[in-house]
Amino acid sequence: MYDPSMRVLTVLELLQARESVTGAELAALLEVSPRTVQRYVARLQDLGIPVEGRRGVGGSYCLKPGFRLPPLMFTGEEALSLALGLRALHLLGLGALAPAAHAASAKLARTLPHALRETVEALSGAVQFDSSPWVVSTDAALLSELLGAVHAAQTVEFSYASPQSFRQTRRVDVYRALHLDGRWYAVGRCHLKGALRSFRLDRMTELRVLETTFTAPTRFDALAYLRSTLPTQAPAAPISVWLDAPPEDLRGRVSVWFTDISAEAGGTRLRAGRSDLGGFAAFLLGLDCGFRVDGPPELLAVFARLGARCAGVAQGPSVTAAAGGIDALGSGL
């Protein structure tokens, strides 16, 4: 009639519905022996459910007077996954949800039997998360509104800051929102470009959900699309630079692609692989902090050429820099 786990849950349902149930009644309903019923009751007691047995003719079982079963019940693994997930929200750039996460954690603790609650607290307390400075903070309210638009297949409009720092109003049919390498993205059809585009949520403001609806493509893989627009392999030139700024001050200003950073001597050690050394040099100059290039020699040569150009410009308008100047060096990291 039932598998063992379903029988245990049925015992619990019957105990909640009646003041008491005899062992014989439970055995008949579940089509098992009275001894098996005793095992099911013992299982509930192991889970922290206060089932009491009453002696007498036929014997009976009941829940402890005043006991109220929480609206949700979780296994140990389920409760641990929820607890760790709530603690890890900051890894997704959703630190603004911390108060809500604390409230949810408190509610979760109240739903767990005492023994299970202590186990979950001990296990989650033994875990340490890395607070990477490269995770870009994201407006949780904006994300929530955007996800609602995705679910309802409604077009959104927002003000967007491009990498060149000028803003445009964009109207987009967003097919998916996703998190990749420390940033949240929206991927969908941009009305301005008439094609698929990706947008970083930390560059969005003034989001509005429009009445216009659309039909999203079936089985659309936003992650595959986004990865296809980004570099697929690290260039060969190894770069090592010390930046006179702590990692947290560089949050969101340095790409995480093929880049390793760590705190060092009051600043930041940046190691990366790049083929466009000119572009990387322009990026370093744009950081507005001191830095020291420890390699490769080719990058030092780029700065030597830049220095000569800048010296020529400083001599006066009669001397011009080489065609394109620093702008020709590319967008950097």
Q: Is 126 left (phi over 0), alpha (psi -120 to 50) or beta?
A: alpha
Q: How far apart are CA 216 and CA 214, in angstroms?
A: 6
In this predicted model, what pLDDT tens digit does every residue of 158-169 receive, in sequence order?
Answer: 999 876 667 899
Instruction: With a cut of 90, say whether residue 214 has pLDDT above it.
Output: yes
* Cis upstream peptide for 296 (omega within 30°): yes
Instruction: With a cut of 50, say whether residue 328 has pLDDT above it.
Output: no
Q: In the structure encoding, which two tokens stand for residue 144, read together?
A: 């929530």
Query: 165 or 288, which is more confident?
Result: 288
Query: 285 or 9, which is more confident?
Result: 285
Question: pLDDT averaged over the chain?
Answer: 80
Query: 160 or 136, which is more confident?
Result: 160
Helices (H) and strands (E) in the chain, counts: 10, 12
Q: What is the CATH number of domain 140-228?
A: 2.30.30.520
**Contact in structure between 27 and 33 (CB atoms under 8 Å):** yes
Instruction: With a cut of 70, say whether residue 1 has pLDDT above it.
Output: no
Gyration radius of the chain over CA positions: 30
Separation of first and last alpha carbons in the chain: 64
**What is the band of 324 on the pLDDT scale with cuts at 50, 70, 90?**
very low
Residue (of 287, 145, 132) closest to 204 by Cα position: 145
Instruction: With a cut of 70, say whether residue 235 has pLDDT above it.
Output: no
Instruction: With a cut of 80, say whether residue 54 has pLDDT above it.
Output: no
* Residue 186 vs residues 99, 171, 196: alpha-carbon distances, Å: 25, 12, 11
| Percent of the chain whose pLDDT exceeds 70 | 83
pLDDT at 58: 61
Q: In what order do the strands lie in the sheet with 267-273?
A: 259-264, 267-273, 238-243, 291-295
Instruction: With a cut of 70, say whether residue 325 has pLDDT above it.
Output: no
Query: 123 or 282, which is more confident?
Result: 282
pLDDT at 131: 60
pLDDT at 108: 79
Helices 98-111 and 114-125 cross at an angle (nearest 10°) of 140
Residue (of 217, 332, 241, 232) closest to 283 by Cα position: 332
Average of per-residue pLDDT across 25-48: 86
Neighbours of 118 (CB within 10 A): 12
**What is the band of 196 on the pLDDT scale with cuts at 50, 70, 90?**
very high
| Lowest model confidence (mean pLDDT) among 36-40, 207-211, 310-314 | 310-314
pLDDT at 320: 43
In this predicted model, what pLDDT tens digit does every residue of 237-267 receive, in sequence order?
Answer: 789 999 999 988 887 677 666 788 889 999 9
Beta-carbon-side half-sphere exposure of residue 203 (alpha carbons within 13 Å): 19
**What is the band of 57 on the pLDDT scale with cuts at 50, 70, 90?**
low
pLDDT at 256: 64
**What is the band of 332 on the pLDDT scale with cuts at 50, 70, 90?**
very low
Average of per-residue pLDDT across 270-292: 85
Domain 4-63 falls under CATH 2.60.15.10? no
* Residue 309 vs residues 14, 80, 240, 303, 326: alpha-carbon distances, Å: 85, 60, 24, 10, 9
Alpha helices for the chain (secondary structure H) = 4-17, 23-30, 34-46, 76-87, 98-111, 114-125, 140-152, 222-228, 277-286, 297-314
Query: 75 or 221, which is more confident?
Result: 221
